[in-house]
Structure 1
């Protein structure tokens, strides 16, 4: 491979690593491509921005979203000519990750940076759709909160009702027990009275 030999002959030129990475990338040798881009980045040469953007794109393709976002963010923060491309790619990445707030922010910033972008109409429609989605999500979240509040109120009401029923049951049981206790005392009293009458009768018989 030409560019591999070129990197061996002149390992200090990041351009060779850039094109070696592109060659691997196009050949679907993604691990080799990332290694080539990363090696080129260590040289801090004139193709650093392109190496960073390509590695970010490669990492996105490999679902390494955190790594890709880091690469894009470095370009965006640096304010280099490729910043707008990195910003658009980061917006697409955030959309794929369902980070809709971040995606809307990045798409909006991109349109400010590139007001004449041929993709403007499509991006504006996408921003509108995402805005509606976010509003809908907010409404659903509010509805879920209301439902949770109502469920909690229902649970508390049921607990209060159970406590009231338990108190009523306890009071009724106490009343029944007291009634039985009073009934027992009456029976004892009558029995004692009968014994007194019997004893009086026996005494009278003896006297006769």
Structure 2
């Protein structure tokens, strides 16, 4: 049958749990000190004052510090209660069992469950058969959220104290803890799978965006640079060879000039040329003169012109390289900006989704935790007015109020 916390929570509240212990010597009331007598009469306010006075005057019994700590506990002065138990442990280390146990209960009341667990462990060191300390340590572990350790402690308790009247209820609590532990483990597994899927989707979106928007930019840049380089190929050479695209002279004329120049000199050359093409003589003379000037450049001048051409070409290529790098840097910055914006948008979406899921989980965990804590508190508290330790030489006494 599935265990329901609510089903046995109300039942647990009516059962007594482990309580504060008061171990004193087996003597008559007349053998008690005035402070101890006041404490037994449930006059905690006056008892703590008298017990403090008795300690100052050296009138200390084996239970003086224990009663003093219990008195402060009843008054709700938990810090003073802890101080009393600590002084007792220092002055009476042989009484560590009860002093440590009651100190653990005080830490429990202060919701310092870690210190409570330590105090209960110290009580068990003093007496390994003090099984009530195991039960209260299990309660403290449950309250601190250590469900697995708490379940193990409850199981250890019913194994060592099988006749405890609360065994059946504790067994139900153990089953409830097993179900809660399994639920949380499954929830953690599903959450891990969900987070993994979200990150895979996130990485996939980034890769897809990179393919869609980033790589084509570089391809376009390379194409533009290639086109620009083809269009501007050899501009310096064109300027060196003249700004006019027109031919220097008719090809047949230039060929005739070359042939005649090899055979004759001076006026014979010009007379023959004038006879062939008298109408274009002036123009041809001017152009041929320029050509002759070009052809008469020295090797040093030609080398200088070639060097200038080389330098001009290198400068132009350098400018093209700088432009290419600038375009690449601009495209890279734009791509990085887009990528960062996409990452921020995805991160914000993921954060909001996780926040919503976390709020839902926290609400459910708080509800379940509250049910478990109510059970632990019911086991920790007492519905009786007797403070007993289960040890020898005990005196039971009535209290006006319960020690929750």
Q: Same fold (TM over 0.5)?
A: yes
Deviations 1:109-145, CA, capped at 9 Å, x for gaps: 1111111222122212222222122112212222222
Q: Which runs of 5+ in 2 are unaligned?
A: 1-33, 37-50, 254-276, 283-404
1:153 aligned onto 2:227:
no
1:56 aligned onto 2:89:
no
Q: Secondary structure at the match of 1:197?
A: coil
The 3 A distance-change label for structure 1 pair 28 and 163 is: closer
8 Å CA contact retained: 2:158, 2:164: yes
- Structure 1 residue 161: Cα displacement: 2.8
Q: Secondary structure at the match of 1:14?
A: coil
In structure 2, the partner of 1:137 is 184
In structure 2, the partner of 1:174 is 222
- Structure 1 residue 85: Cα displacement: 0.8
Pick one of 35, 46, 53 that aligns with 1:2.
35
Structure 2 Cα separation of the partners of residues 189 and 66 of structure 1: 89
Structure 2 Cα separation of the partners of residues 19 and 174 of structure 1: 90
8 Å CA contact retained: 1:92, 1:103: yes
159-168 or 12-21, which deviates more = 159-168
Structure of greater relative contact order (alpha carbons < 8 Å, 6+ residues apart): 2
Q: Secondary structure at the match of 1:32?
A: helix
Say how many residue pairs are matched.
205
In structure 1, the partner of 2:246 is 197
Structure 2 Cα separation of the partners of residues 185 and 80 of structure 1: 97
Structure 2 Cα separation of the partners of residues 34 and 50 of structure 1: 13
8 Å CA contact retained: 2:97, 2:124: no
The 3 A distance-change label for structure 1 pair 54 and 198 is: same
8 Å CA contact retained: 1:25, 1:33: yes
8 Å CA contact retained: 1:37, 1:55: yes
8 Å CA contact retained: 2:89, 2:99: yes
1:1-208 alignment, distance < 5 Å: 2-3=35-36, 4=51, 5-42=53-90, 43-45=92-94, 47-82=95-130, 84-165=131-212, 166-185=214-233, 195-197=244-246, 199-200=248-249, 206-207=280-281
RMSD: 3.2
The 3 A distance-change label for structure 1 pair 41 and 11 is: farther
TM-score by length of 1: 0.80
Structure 2 Cα separation of the partners of residues 157 and 190 of structure 1: 53
Deviations 1:182-202, CA, capped at 9 Å, x for gaps: 34559999999x94435447x
TM-score by length of 2: 0.44
Structure 1 Cα separation of the partners of residues 200 and 106 of structure 2: 52
8 Å CA contact retained: 1:60, 1:93: yes
Structure 1 Cα separation of the partners of residues 210 and 77 of structure 2: 70
Deviations 1:20-57, CA, capped at 9 Å, x for gaps: 22222222232332222222222124x43122211110
Q: Which runs of 5+ in 1 are unaligned?
A: none
132-141 or 30-39, which deviates more = 30-39
Structure 2 Cα separation of the partners of residues 77 and 106 of structure 1: 16
The 3 A distance-change label for structure 1 pair 135 and 109 is: same
The structure whose residues are more often helix, as a share, is 1
8 Å CA contact retained: 2:54, 2:60: no
